Structures are given as C-alpha cells and as structure tokens.
Structure 1
Amino acid sequence: MPNARASHLTRRGLLSAGGALGLGVALAACGQETKGKKGDSDKAAAKSGPWSFTDDRGQKSESKAAPKNIVAFTGTAAALFDYGVEVTGVFGPTKTADGKADVQAGDMDISKVEILGNVWGEFNVEKYAALAPELLVTDMWEKDALWYVPDQSKDKILKLAPSVALWAAQINMPGALQRRADLAESLGADMKAKKVTDAKARFEKAAERLRQAAKAKPNLKVLIGSGSQDLFYVSVPKMSADTLYFQELGVKFVEPKPNAQGFFEELSWENAGKYDADIIMLDNRTGTLQPDTLKAKPTWAGLPAVKAGQVVPRVTEPIYSYDKCAPILEDLAKAIENAKKVS
C-alpha cells in the first residue's frame, strides 16, 4: 500500500499505504518473515475436469479445467505458493528498493514471476493481457473492492479473466486461512500433504499458547500502531482478520475512537501517548516507519511500552497460510509471556 502520506485518503488508500492500516489493516484511508527462496513447494497437480469457485463476493468463477495461468496479489500468491500453487504474475508490494523480496512475497522466488505493479495504484494492464491470464486472485478489505486493482483500470482488467476476491477483514484469521486453503485445493493443492498438516497443527498449538498467555496476564493492554512521518495510527482490533482473532483468544487491545470509516484513529505525534499500552504491535510493512526511525520522535521514545522494550513487529497484511500465520501467533504469545505491566 502507499505510504500514509495524507490523513484524509480513502480507507482503501490508507490500507494500501501501509500506514494507518497499520494496525488493523485498518486504513484505507490515507508478512511474513521468510522470503526470496523458491522453497520446497511442489507445484500443485492440475485438476482435470470442470473447475468452479465461489468467492467472498458471492461471485462464481468457472472454467473447463482448473486455471494454471494465475495472477494474484502478492500476499495471496505467497499463500497459494505455500500450498504448492504457483502463479505467473503478481501485483502489490513484491520487491523493495534494493531489489530484495518484500515481506509480503513470502517464500516465492520473485525473479520467476512477472511483477505487474509494485506499489499502490500501479498495475500494468498490457503486461497482464500479454500473460493470457486464466484467473485473477486478490484480497478484499471492503465489500467488492479488489485489493491493489486500481479503480481506473478495474473494468479493463476484469474483462480479461475470471476473478476471485477473498476477505482479509470482516472475518477472523482461521476463516481467512480456510478460504485460501479452499481456493488452493480447488486449484489442485494436496491439503493432506505433511507440510500442510504439520503447519496447521503448529498453528493450532500456537493459538492455544496465545490463549493461555492472554489468560495468564489479563491486565496487559496491546496497542496496534502504525507510524507515518506526520501521524500515528491506532487501529481497531475487530476490523482485521488477525487482530480480531487475537481478541477472540483473549488478548486485551486498546480500543481507539476511529474516524467515520471505523478502522483506525489518526493521532498527531504530539498526541501519540493518548492511550495507555503495555505492548505496541508496530506495522512492519515497507513504507511505514520502524523503531529505528521512530526513536527520533520524542513522544514515541517516551511511550511506556517503548521505554520498556515492549514493541513487537505486527505483520499487518499476513500471508494467510498456516505456515506463515503460526509464527505470528507464537511471537505475540512470547511477547505477552515476557511483558510486564508498564501502563
């Protein structure tokens, strides 16, 4: 997403910005850890016979056989990759300024996919058409809004191939995981493969660990934050699949007073200490300010959680595979287990 440079962009823009959304994906106003290697994922065997899939818009896509030539939002492509389904092209944050894989690229080898757009608002329609796509896949933060598919070229893009949109909000993390697993399976992924079942078991174990950690320290409060040069965004936990699930597991979050769109509250840096918090989950996306940069802001440096060293990265746009989500739960559980009350 674009950086949260403006404070009054649409929620979609902000989300993409990487800033406000920061926390609960919450923006729209204005990843996982491993990357760059092809991995040992095997290509999913193409399914024979007719293929169909009904997405989270309620829209059914059909073809005579399972699509092989797939173009997807980077994070969604990375989730499919973990199940053995590889894509031809991607759009969304894929490559950093120094040419390395973005956190949202997961284990994909980005040198082997066509990058149609790397930033918010960028999508090369001509390159997309040249790929002769059989399916377009992306996330959905708002009903019928296709993540990183520009509004100005959406009609042209959607005429070229069927599309699938899957919720990244208005659903919890297990729900988001299941939907991407459903899509991968429809495309030929073996969901009984040991790699998949082991990852799911690890995720379930991590969820229970987080539940117990939250139960053991019920007085700890967690703030979901994202920093831009001018603003500090505090997200509403229920508005994103990951933090909604953490809340369901018992994690106590700061509940900001969101703007009219309901995803986050925009605070000037002078007011960054408005909410008491013992742990800060800080947006880890490319384009948002990280602790090494934020330390130059006095109000950030003075926050109790910052002074106590209780700031942890937040994977704001998770790669929704069990393999990538299990560590997110483990890391938050560890942070809570080790944290002390400072607010």
Structure 2
Amino acid sequence: MYEVRLPYMSRLTLAAAVAAALIPLAACGSSDSSSDEAWTFTDDLGTKISLDAAPKRIVAQSSVAAALTDLGLGDRIVGTFGPLKNPDGEPDVQAEGLDQSKVKDVTGSGDYGDVDVEKLAGLRPDIVITSTYIEPQLWYVNEASEAKIKKRYDIAAISFQDKTLPQIFDGTERLAAALGADTSGFSEGRDAFGQAAERLQSVYEAQGDPSIVAVSPAADVLYVSSPDANPDLKYYRDTLKLNIVSPKKPDDGGYFESLSWEKADQYDADVAIWDARGGSAALKGLEAQPVWNKTKAGRDKAYVAWNSVAAPSAAGYARIIESFADGLEKVAQ
C-alpha cells in the first residue's frame, strides 16, 4: 500500500491554517444590498447582472440554496430546483440545512435540468442562482430551460471548475455578501470546516493511511472519480494528504474514468467511498459485482458513503467531512 504521511501538525495549527485559507473575497462589483438602490453583480461566468434593487426573492438550485441558507439568507429562498430527496426518500445531503417546508420545488418533469418555468414565474423571483462544474453548463438547468428562464430572469452562477474548496467557498460568500448577508457570521462555518478537516486527517492517520478509491456504480459501468477534477477529492489528497486513487484515463471533462464491470478491479484500494446519490441500491449493486469483489475494499466490505455533491459553503462541507470521518472510523471497527 502506498502511504503518504503528513508532517505532524497540532489540532490548533491545522485548524488555523485551514481557516486562514478560507478568508472570503470582498463582495466587489455590487451595490449596498441593504438599500433600494440599483444592484449590480458580476458572477463567476463573467455575466453582469443589473437590477433596480437587491434581490429579495431567490430561486436557487438546491445545494446552492442550502449554502445561502448556511450564510444567513434562508429567508430569501422562495423556490428550488434539483434534488431535495435521495432515492431512499430521505432529505438529500446536498440540501441539508434548507427548510424544505418553506420553499416550492420548481423542478420540471422532463429530462435532467428541466425547470418548470411557469411554476418558477409564479414565485416572482428577482434572480435565479445555480452553479457550474464545467463552464458554461449550468447545474440542473438544461439548455432549453436556460433559454426560457433568461427571457424573464437573470441567472447568476457560482463556478466550481478548476477551483479548490476554499475558492468555491469564497465564490459563494462573495455572492452572499452582495445579496446582503451578514459577513461577520461567515467565520463560524469556516471554523467548523477547519475543525472537521483536522478530525478527518487524524482519523485517517489512525487507520494507517489507507488508500481510497472514489466510485460511482451505474447499471453498465463503474465510474472512478478523479481527485484532479473533483474539488473535494483534490482537497483530501493535496491538503489533508489522503491517498486518493487517480484514474489513469479520465473521460472528457476529467471528472471520472468509465470502466466496464469486467474491469472493475482495475484500481485496487483499501477503502471505497461510494457515491451516495444513488442511495442504498447503488451500494447493493456494487457489492453484487464479482469482479469488483476482487478488490481489497470489496473483499473487506470497506465502504464509506461519499456525498460527492454538497452545499458549496464552508458549513456545508464541514458536515460532509464530519460524516466522512465517521464512516472511516466505522470501517476500522
């Protein structure tokens, strides 16, 4: 097993280092959102938005809505699109913290990214907010829906492409500050993130620095995710020094490599973190694959749920990392 060890850092030192890296960017490019004066904002895609006043009614993709809630703007969220429940019928982790009883779901009934624009219009939003993993493709907004929405409303996007987790937090906080969030409250989430990161590193080292592979099982293929493109995996590998397996031939976009189930044992590892978006059925499907079960993680049933999509806030990822640490501890028991 290839081991990567991090030089000793005290709890306070690591937490302080992480917190320092998470100082938010100034909310430049916007007017005072607490007034009724004209409001302008330039998003991560370079789109300049100009409104008569700061947005008071927001419809956002569910994970972004949860992040804005973390940053004190939950009372502005009137609607969401994208996942709210996981396949097991439980609240989706990416929407954790969002009060789902107070928002209306405007997700359409069509293919991925379909937004019911008429339901959206009924909420009278001032702005629509989402994110992007591969610019300029909008998360949970397909091209047809995007064209319809833009005829009526401005869309602001937070970009995750080629960003570190701290940079993603900065982008979300920059938008939240422009919307009028109290920036003095941002430090609480960053502190929680630093503490969670320190705990995960400690748990990982206590397990003997196991190798970890991130997988997303599907009906016909196994997706092996790359730490070079996925911001959370990159953070675990580069900052916390977890030994995350890197696929050799990622598909277009760089986020994962697709393997047939006949080659599912190509990347062996001590622990498999599996994409929990598929619910418990996804894990059962993975466990049923004979070739996969030749891997050490498969033989040992060393599985940890991986929440690959989370609220893009420091508080959101603090929850994710704490859950990851809990899972690693259980694997060792």
Give the Cα–Cα distance (whole angstroms) in 1 for the partners of residues 282 and 162 of structure 2.
Answer: 27
Asked if 1 retains the 8 angstrom alpha-carbon contact of 2:33 and 2:39, the reply is: no
Alignment match of 1:93 (pick from 58, 83, 93) = 83
After superposition, the C-alpha distances for 1:207-263 in whole angstroms (9 at most, x for unaligned) are 234455667778632111001122111011121221121122112221112124422
After superposition, the C-alpha distances for 1:195-216 in whole angstroms (9 at most, x for unaligned) are x433321211222344556677
After superposition, the C-alpha distances for 1:108-142 in whole angstroms (9 at most, x for unaligned) are 22232121116723211111222222111101011
Alignment of 1:143-292 (within 5 A): 143-193=135-185, 196-211=186-201, 220-249=210-239, 250-256=241-247, 257-286=249-278, 289-292=281-284
1:73 matched to 2:65:
no
Q: State the secondary structure of the residue aligned to 2:105.
A: strand
Give the Cα–Cα distance (whole angstroms) in 2 for the partners of residues 261 and 289 of structure 1.
Answer: 27
Give me the CA root mean square deviation: 2.7
- Specify the alignment match of 2:96 in structure 1: 106
Structure having greater relative contact order (Cα 8 Å, sep ≥ 6): 1
Give the direction of change, closer, same or farther, for the CA distance of 1:100–1:207 in structure 2 (3 Å limit): closer
Asked if 1 retains the 8 angstrom alpha-carbon contact of 2:87 and 2:277, the reply is: no
Q: State the secondary structure of the residue aligned to 1:176.
A: helix
Q: State the secondary structure of the residue aligned to 2:50.
A: strand
Give the Cα–Cα distance (whole angstroms) in 2 for the partners of residues 247 and 96 of structure 1.
Answer: 27
- Offset of 1:161 from its aligned partner? 1.4
Asked if 2 retains the 8 angstrom alpha-carbon contact of 1:236 and 1:258, the reply is: yes
- Specify the alignment match of 2:16 in structure 1: none
Asked if 2 retains the 8 angstrom alpha-carbon contact of 1:226 and 1:288, the reply is: no
- Specify the alignment match of 1:329 in structure 2: 321
1:296 matched to 2:288:
yes
Give the Cα–Cα distance (whole angstroms) in 2 for the partners of residues 179 and 107 of structure 1.
Answer: 19
- Residue type of the alignment partner of 2:234: L
Give the Cα–Cα distance (whole angstroms) in 2 for the partners of residues 224 and 188 of structure 1.
Answer: 37
Give the Cα–Cα distance (whole angstroms) in 1 for the partners of residues 331 and 124 of structure 2.
Answer: 51
Give the Cα–Cα distance (whole angstroms) in 1 for the partners of residues 89 and 276 of structure 2.
Answer: 18
- Specify the alignment match of 2:44 in structure 1: 56
Asked if 2 retains the 8 angstrom alpha-carbon contact of 1:140 and 1:168, the reply is: yes
- Specify the alignment match of 2:105 in structure 1: 115
- Specify the alignment match of 2:72 in structure 1: 84
Give the direction of change, closer, same or farther, for the CA distance of 1:214–1:294 in structure 2 (3 Å limit): closer
- Residue type of the alignment partner of 2:154: P
User: Structure 2 unaligned runs (5+)?
Assistant: 1-31
- Specify the alignment match of 1:9 in structure 2: none
Alignment match of 2:119 (pick from 127, 139, 158) = 127
Asked if 2 retains the 8 angstrom alpha-carbon contact of 1:202 and 1:326, the reply is: yes
Give the Cα–Cα distance (whole angstroms) in 1 for the partners of residues 140 and 317 of structure 2.
Answer: 22
User: Structure 1 unaligned runs (5+)?
Assistant: 1-44
User: Which has the larger share of helix?
Assistant: 2
- Specify the alignment match of 1:47 in structure 2: 34
Give the Cα–Cα distance (whole angstroms) in 2 for the partners of residues 206 and 100 of structure 1.
Answer: 24
Which has the higher Rg, Structure 1 or Structure 2?
Answer: 2
Q: State the secondary structure of the residue aligned to 1:148.
A: coil
Identity %: 36
Asked if 2 retains the 8 angstrom alpha-carbon contact of 1:46 and 1:68, the reply is: no
- Specify the alignment match of 2:28 in structure 1: none
Give the direction of change, closer, same or farther, for the CA distance of 1:103–1:204 in structure 2 (3 Å limit): closer
After superposition, the C-alpha distances for 1:70-105 in whole angstroms (9 at most, x for unaligned) are 111111011111122131111111235676533322
Give the direction of change, closer, same or farther, for the CA distance of 1:50–1:248 in structure 2 (3 Å limit): farther
